[in-house]
């Protein structure tokens, strides 16, 4: 056996060390394609409100820059038969958007969006406004009371009742709000309410009920990223009377405070449902690096985003703090 001299081994190790140190300093070129920004169109529309369309350019996922709004687009709304209904005007405020001045959406009708941005292919999308589904009742019971009398916290159960139309699959977005107000003189009814809901003058605060817990007997739901409401389908109760139960916390600072739990049931299009469920899942997983990324649904041709319709029915149940 031939043995190497210890000095030779040291020289050999030093040689390899210099080689690796030099290699680590060499810049590495990563072959990452930089995609050209795409046009992003966002519009959720409902009866009684004008069409509002936001047009921006997509950003790199690692970018911290603010959204780049497109202020030179031509935005038009057409009927399902191709008749032009309105050319939307630009409201160039802090957050620019395009708004219809002559028309508002109607339930049961389909609409087509056309966006022309200089230098880009024509952007088109279409969707329908579903028919509204009425809330037949909202019921609330107190389960438990926490805290001192000056500021008690109530754990409540809320039952929401409605009848699902029989036939094609329906999609829903249900939100629950706490509408608090200081007692005062009688005022006008709350804007946009269906059913018997009255209001009072004075300070009024409308906030989503959070945290909101879905009962195990409910159909599978996806919690909405923005208002804490839930998205679901009628797959488990098509054509039947439905009751969904939720749990939340309510607080009262003094006995003069009164209010309502407001229920808003949106009957939404399939595109609305797919977009908002995928976006909600993506946002819920943003801090979980080892979870498979979720692609956000889009129904925009030659761009990204959403153009989707929904119908709204609101009702409420009165709540009063009792000490």
Q: Mean pLDDT in runs of 10 for the chain (323 residues)?
A: 41 43 48 71 97 90 71 97 97 92 97 97 98 97 83 90 96 93 45 38 72 96 94 97 96 66 97 97 84 90 98 90 49
Extract long-range pairs of 272-276: CB within 8 Å, 24+ residues apart.
272/44, 272/127, 272/171, 272/173, 272/306, 272/308, 272/309, 272/310, 273/171, 273/173, 273/231, 273/233, 275/299, 275/306, 275/308, 276/173, 276/224, 276/225, 276/231
Count the Cβ atoms, other than its own, within 10 Å of residue 11.
Answer: 11
The torsion defined by the Cα of 299, 301, 302 and 306, in degrees rounded to 10, comes to -30
Q: Output the pLDDT for position 257.
A: 55
Alpha-carbon distances of 299 from 54, 131, 224, rounded to whole Å: 15, 21, 19
CB burial readout 150-161, b (16+ within 10 A) else e:
eebebebebebb
- Gyration radius of the chain's alpha carbons: 28
Residue of 292, 313, 300 whose CA lies nearest to 126: 300
Report all structural domains of the chain as residue ranges with CATH numbers, in order of start: 39-128 (2.60.40), 135-320 (no CATH)
Q: Output the pLDDT for position 151.
A: 74
Q: Output the pLDDT for position 37.
A: 87
Do residues 132 and 165 make contact, with C-beta atoms less than 8 angstroms apart? no
Q: Output the pLDDT for position 323.
A: 39
Helices (H) and strands (E) in the chain, counts: 2, 19
Q: Output the pLDDT for position 294.
A: 85
Q: Output the pLDDT for position 270.
A: 98
């Amino acid at each position: 056996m031939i043995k190497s001299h210890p000095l030779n081994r040291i020289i050999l190790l030093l040689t390899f060390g210099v080689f690796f140190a030099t290699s680590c300093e060499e810049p590495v070129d990563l072959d990452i394609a930089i995609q050209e920004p795409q046009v992003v169109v966002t519009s959720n529309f409902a009866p009684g409100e004008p069409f509002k369309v936001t047009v921006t350019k997509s950003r790199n996922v690692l970018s911290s820059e603010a959204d780049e709004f497109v202020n030179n687009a031509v935005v038009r709304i057409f009927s399902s038969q191709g008749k032009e209904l309105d050319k939307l005007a630009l409201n160039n405020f802090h957050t620019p958007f395009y708004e219809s001045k002559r028309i508002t959406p109607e339930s049961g009708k389909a609409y087509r969006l056309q966006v022309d941005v200089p230098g880009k292919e024509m952007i088109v999308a279409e969707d329908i406004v579903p028919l509204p589904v009425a809330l037949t009742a909202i019921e609330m019971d107190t389960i438990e009371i926490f805290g001192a009398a000056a500021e008690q916290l109530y754990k409540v159960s809320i039952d929401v009742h409605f009848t699902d139309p029989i036939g094609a699959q329906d999609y829903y977005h249900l939100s629950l709000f706490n509408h608090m107000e200081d007692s005062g003189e009688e005022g006008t009814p709350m804007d946009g309410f269906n059913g018997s809901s009255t209001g009072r003058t004075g300070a009024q605060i409308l906030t989503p009920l959070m945290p909101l817990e879905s009962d195990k007997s409910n159909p599978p739901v996806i919690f909405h990223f923005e208002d804490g409401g839930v998205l679901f389908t009628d797959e488990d109760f098509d054509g039947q009377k439905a009751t969904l139960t939720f749990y939340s916390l309510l607080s009262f600072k003094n006995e003069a405070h009164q209010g309502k739990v407001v229920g808003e049931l949106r009957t939404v299009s399939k595109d609305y449902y797919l977009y908002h469920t995928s976006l909600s899942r993506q946002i819920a997983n943003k801090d979980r690096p080892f979870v498979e990324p979720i692609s956000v649904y889009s129904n925009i041709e030659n761009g990204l985003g959403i153009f989707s319709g929904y119908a709204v029915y609101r009702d409420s149940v009165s709540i009063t703090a009792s000490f």
